[in-house]
């Protein structure tokens, strides 16, 4: 079983010993409800030379808005620990909320422009919560390498920006989206789907694939690419927050759309569940 640590000082003391031995500590930040997508992040940090690997499990209240799913977010610690054990994770860092945010807590980390559109519009305080908690996880762990999934694409661009802007000495890995066989991106929130919603949910991937294939055939009209993506999603989902092409790095208006330079981002509701997904045009979802 992994060693379980629940406070930042103990974690830093442990990782300091490993760093002193010349080991490259790896970190995979998570909110638990682990699935094989998370385990692909563990494999990625290991393949990049990390040892030991720390998986943090912390449902971060700071990144949930008032009417979001903090209370019902799945908490499956015993299963998560077993999964980490099966994948050879050496340390699980699982702080309690008051160890993370003790009384009097009032400091935050903010990244500006890249957090403004898309998720930033739908969830105005979300990224400030993410960048603050990831900074705290980095400070407690002192990792050489950290891995994040590109399913949360804007989160990935935001954290990458934060590390560069603030000179954080962490090698950042942005890992490919892990998908079920029918294309649905793996997500802890997939557990909320009813059986009938689960059968409709892959439409989000079908939309991304239709646009990405059209792009590969030479389509460069942004409106047409967005229309192609929207058609299957509209048929299966109840509300679409956005389906839009953006610059793959800064998430701004893409200008001329070029391979690897543009990403198609989607957020949509199926019943009470909000799913997000994306693909880099012309190289993914083909």
**Sequential DSSP letters for 150-171:** TTSHHHHHHHHHHHHHTT---E
Residue closer to ligand PAF (CB basis): 265 or 281: 265
With CB under 6 A as the contact rule, the residue among 44, 45, 111, 130 that binds ligand PAF is 130
Q: Which residue is it, tokens 């953006």?
A: 246
For residue 31, the minimal CB distance to ligand PAF (Å) is 4
Please report whether residue 158 would count as binding ligand PAF according to CB under 6 A.
no
The answer to whether 40 touches 69, Cβ cutoff 8 Å, is no
Q: Which two tokens stand for residue 228?
A: 């192609």
CB of 135 to ligand PAF, least distance (A): 10
Q: Which region, judged by CB under 6 A, interacts with ligand PAF, from 66-74, 78-86, 126-134, 191-199?
A: 126-134
CB atoms within 10 A of CB 165: 11
Residue 35 annotated to the active site: no
- Quote the tokens at residue 229: 């993506």
Distance of CA 29 to the CA centre of its chain: 9
Residue 31 makes contact with ligand PAF by CB under 6 A: yes
Nearer to ligand PAF by Cβ, of 123 and 280: the residue is 123
Query: Between 56 and 85, how does the x/- string for binding to ligand PAF read (CB under 6 A)?
Result: ----x--x----------------------
Secondary structure in 3-state letters for 212-273 = HHHHHCCCCCHHHHHHHHHHHHHHHCCEEEEEEEEECCCCCCCCCCCCCCEEEEEEEEECCE
Assess 152 for contact with ligand PAF (CB under 6 A): yes
Contact with ligand PAF (CB under 6 A) among 134, 266, 268, 275: 134
β-bridge mates for residue 146, sequence order:
27, 172
Number of residue whose CB is nearest ligand PAF: 29
190 is an interface residue for ligand PAF by CB under 6 A: no
Shortest spacing between CB 156 and ligand PAF, in angstroms: 9
To the nearest whole angstrom, how small is the minimum distance from the Cβ of residue 225 to ligand PAF? 27
Q: Which of 38, 87, 108, 126 is catalytic?
A: 38
Binding residue count for ligand PAF, defined by CB under 6 A = 10
Alpha-carbon distance of 205 to 59, in angstroms, equals 27
Cβ proximity to ligand PAF, 171 vs 219, nearer residue: 171
- 24 contacts 145 by C-beta, under 8 angstroms: yes
CB nearer to ligand PAF: give 91 or 281.
91
> DSSP labels for 54-69?
EEEE---GGGS-TTSS
Cβ-based burial of 251 (10 A; exposed 0-12, middle 13-18, buried ≥19): buried
For residue 40, state whether it binds ligand PAF (rule: CB under 6 A).
Answer: no
Among 14, 15, 26, 30, binds ligand PAF (CB under 6 A): 30
Tell me the catalytic residues.
38
* Contacts to ligand PAF by CB under 6 A: 29-31, 60, 63, 130, 133-134, 152, 155
């Amino acid at each position: 079983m992994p060693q379980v640590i629940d406070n930042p000082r103990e974690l830093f003391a442990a990782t300091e010993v490993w760093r002193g031995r010349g080991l490259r500590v790896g970190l995979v930040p998570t909110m638990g409800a682990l699935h094989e997508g998370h385990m692909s992040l563990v494999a990625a940090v290991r393949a990049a030379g990390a040892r030991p690997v720390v998986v943090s499990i912390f449902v971060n209240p700071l990144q949930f808005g008032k009417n979001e799913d903090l209370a019902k977010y799945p908490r499956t610690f015993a299963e998560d620990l077993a999964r980490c054990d099966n994948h050879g994770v050496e340390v699980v860092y699982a702080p309690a909320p008051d160890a993370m945010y003790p009384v009097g807590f009032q400091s935050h980390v903010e990244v500006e422009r890249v957090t403004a559109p898309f998720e930033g519009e739908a969830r105005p305080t979300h990224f400030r919560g993410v960048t603050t908690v990831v900074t705290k996880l980095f400070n407690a762990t002192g990792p050489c390498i950290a891995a994040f999934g590109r399913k949360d694409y804007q989160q990935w661009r935001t954290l990458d920006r934060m590390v560069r802007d603030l000179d954080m000495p962490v090698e950042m890995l942005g890992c490919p989206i892990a998908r079920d066989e029918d294309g649905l991106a793996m997500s802890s929130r997939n557990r909320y789907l009813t059986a009938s919603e689960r059968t409709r949910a892959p439409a989000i991937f079908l939309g991304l694939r239709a646009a990405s294939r059209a792009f590969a055939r030479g389509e460069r009209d942004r409106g047409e690419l967005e229309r192609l993506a929207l058609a299957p999603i509209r048929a299966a989902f109840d509300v679409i927050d956005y389906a839009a092409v953006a610059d793959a790095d800064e998430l701004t208006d893409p200008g001329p759309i070029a391979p690897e330079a543009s990403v198609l981002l989607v957020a949509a509701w199926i019943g009470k569940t909000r799913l997000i997904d994306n693909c880099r045009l012309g190289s993914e979802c083909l």
